[in-house]
Homo-oligomer: A and B are copies of this chain.
Amino acid sequence: MTERVVLAYSGGLDTSVCIGWIAEATGAEVVAVAVDVGQGGEDLEAIRERALACGAVEAEVADARDEFAEGHCLPAVRANALYMDRYPLVSALSRPVIVEHLVAAARRHGAGVVAHGCTGKGNDQVRFEAGIASLAPDLRCIAPVRDYAMTRDKAIAFAEEKGLPIATTRKSPYSIDQNVFGRAVETGFLEDIWNGPVEDLYEYTADPATPREADEVVITFDKGAPVAIDGRPVTVLQAIRELNERAGAQGVGRIDMVEDRLVGIKSREVYEAPGAIALITAHRELESVTVERELARFKRGVEQRWAELVYDGLWFSPLKRALDGFVNETNEHVCGDIRMTLHGGRAVVTGRRSERSLYDFDLATYDTGDTFDQSMAKGFIEIFGLSGKIAAKRDLAR
């Protein structure tokens, strides 16, 4: 039986060319798999047909939007996951769901190889290959763009030579990856990090500086998951989409940063993630009301490691799994409402309420009803500061 290769297929030039290229280079049959994680654009059926027209022996498309929202974006919200305190891991979160579909297809089709279209200097190659190694350690990976130096020019030449049904115009100046959780843009002129971004980079967000009316929203969470917006029940996917629209219309969620890639270089990235930023902002605030102090302090370190692991392509690692256990436990009481004003590029919390609140009005107030016993403070301070005081005596004696 001819060997089969499962290819992560996007419908674009590079992966369309990969179909024939892999077939020629390896003699294998190519099964194309396209996964909808909310990237928008073409119809899935059109993508499926193009794959077949480009020579795939089979082509599968999957609507993984809910699966992605529930299984990958929600854990990120619960972990307040921001790589380098800023990037909500948009692409990094989508790779694992694609990997799951690739592996399932490889099993269904008896394929021993998985192929992807990543280059050799980004993070995504690691996310694909380390992911596949963890879900299916027996599968082998190939990356034609990286391993066979399939440049854009060679791809265009190949497509034209074979008459593939795919546009071979000069590439857009922007390299884009997008899904329902956000959008990433790289482009030549941003590689000079002194240059600021220009307005036409953006698609998910309007210009924050344009005058407009503010939008007030109330997000309801249950165990860290958004379950209602302005009182209307929503799925996680619906929450992200509605907030993409409403926060995006106010210019919320633009990120322009220099980021540390896993492969050791710094790169300039522009992201827009209005829904993600709005949700994480609201979620953190609800945590500050419902999570006990020492747990909250420790969770910050866990959040950082979680974000690093996912950024670094280790979604399926044992450590990520164990951190998820911690994060889920922490979200047990993250239930309640956050009221937010979306306006001028900012998502600003203006109110919080929760039946699981640890904010105790009677302890916090300085007005009538204060129940805090101030006489306890003297003893507390004395003992809290004692180890430092003893050290000071020693240090001052010198």
Contacts and interface: CB of A to CB of B under 8 A. Distances in A.
Interface of A: 84-85, 119-121, 125-126, 129-130, 133-137, 143, 146-147, 149, 175, 186, 188, 191-197, 208-209, 211, 214, 254, 256-260, 262-268, 284-285, 288-289, 291-301, 304-305, 308-309, 313-314, 316-319, 321-323, 325-326, 328-330, 333, 339, 341, 343-346, 348-353, 356-361, 363-367, 370, 372-396
User: Which of A208, A254, A363, A396 has its CB near the most chain B CB atoms (within 10 A)?
Assistant: A363
Nearest to A351: B194
10 contacts: A126-B380, A129-B382, A135-B396, A146-B378, A191-B367, A193-B353, A195-B351, A196-B351, A209-B214, A301-B304
A42 B209 CA distance: 38
Contacts of A377: 120-121, 125, 146, 263, 379, 383
How many copies the complex holds: the figure is 4
B133 A364 contact: no
Contact of A289 (B119, B266, B319): B266
A376 B258 CA distance: 23
B137 A358 contact: no
Contacts of A365: 188, 191
Contacts of A387: 260, 264-265, 292-294, 358
Given A359-B193, A376-B378, A319 B292 contact: yes
Given A296-B260, A392-B137, A363 B265 contact: yes
Contacts of A197: 350
Nearest to A389: B133
Contacts of A146: 374, 377-378
B265 A372 contact: yes
